[in-house]
Amino acid sequence: MNNDYVSIDFLNELPLFNHRFSSVNYEFEQWNHEYEGFNFEFNGIEFKSRLAKKTPKKVGYFVAFWRKNEINKNRPFNFSESKDKLIINILDGSKKGQFVFPKELLVKKGIISSDKHKGKMAIRVYPTWECDLNKTAISTQKWQAPYFLDFTIGFDDKKIKELYLG
């Protein structure tokens, strides 16, 4: 397993962890190494973390999060096996940020599988700095924005605590 994930170093920068994230107990996922998939617990809350990728032909950032089923086929996560929150790290040159999505929202948006939704194995995220978006992307960015922390403009301790611990 790879333990030189840039997203782990990035979490160490957050004031919430006081530069001690590396001492938080985390486990690397069996899948999604390309997206730096790992899980950790902090303050009694379970987190799943991913590093999103900038795609050359489409605005926004792409991130995968799936698991294998009993016949080794990729499938979306379901509610019971999902962590409390999904963190999607964005590291794009001088632009840095995170989405911190609660799993209840991911079910509501059809990303985590449920009785009502098949679920998704990947999504595209649109940080607030992304512009010139099509109608669908604008709509997606609108519901994602309240869960976005733009570290390019600094740390908002109150919002970090609200998204991580709320």
Tell me the C-alpha to C-alpha distance, in Å, between residue 18 and each of 7, 14, 60, 84, 121.
Answer: 16, 7, 30, 22, 33
Percent of the chain with pLDDT over 70: 96
pTM of the model: 0.94
Q: What pLDDT was estimated at residue 24?
A: 80
Residue pLDDT, tens place only, 84-114: 999 999 999 999 999 999 999 999 999 999 9
Q: Name the band, by pLDDT with cuts 50, 70 and 90, for residue 1.
A: very low
pLDDT at 120 over 80: yes
The residue assigned the tokens 């004031």 is 15
Q: What is the DSSP string of 57-73?
A: SSSSEEEE--EE-TTS-
Residue pLDDT, tens place only, 135-159: 999 999 999 999 999 999 999 999 9
From the candidate CATH numbers 3.20.20.70, 3.40.1350.140, 3.40.50.970, 3.90.950.20, the one assigned to the domain spanning 6-160:
3.40.1350.140
Q: What is the DSSP string of 80-112?
A: TTS-SEEEEEEEETTEEEEEEEEHHHHHHTTSS
The amino acid that residue 31 corresponds to is W
Give the contacts of 158 (CB within 8 A, at least 6 positions apart).
none
Residue pLDDT, tens place only, 32-64: 999 999 999 999 999 999 999 999 899 999 999
pLDDT at 2 over 90: no
pLDDT at 12 over 90: no
pLDDT at 23 over 70: no
Tell me the C-alpha to C-alpha distance, in Å, between residue 61 and each of 41, 70, 99, 141.
Answer: 25, 30, 11, 11
Give the contacts of 114 (CB within 8 A, at least 6 positions apart).
78, 79, 107
Q: What pLDDT was estimated at residue 3?
A: 62
Mean pLDDT (whole number) for 68-92: 95
- Decide: 64 and 57 in contact? Cβ < 8 Å: no
pLDDT at 11 over 80: yes
- The domain ranges of the chain are 6-160
**Kind and range of the H or E run holding 165:** helix 157-165
Tell me the C-alpha to C-alpha distance, in Å, between residue 105 and each of 27, 31, 70, 113.
Answer: 24, 23, 27, 12
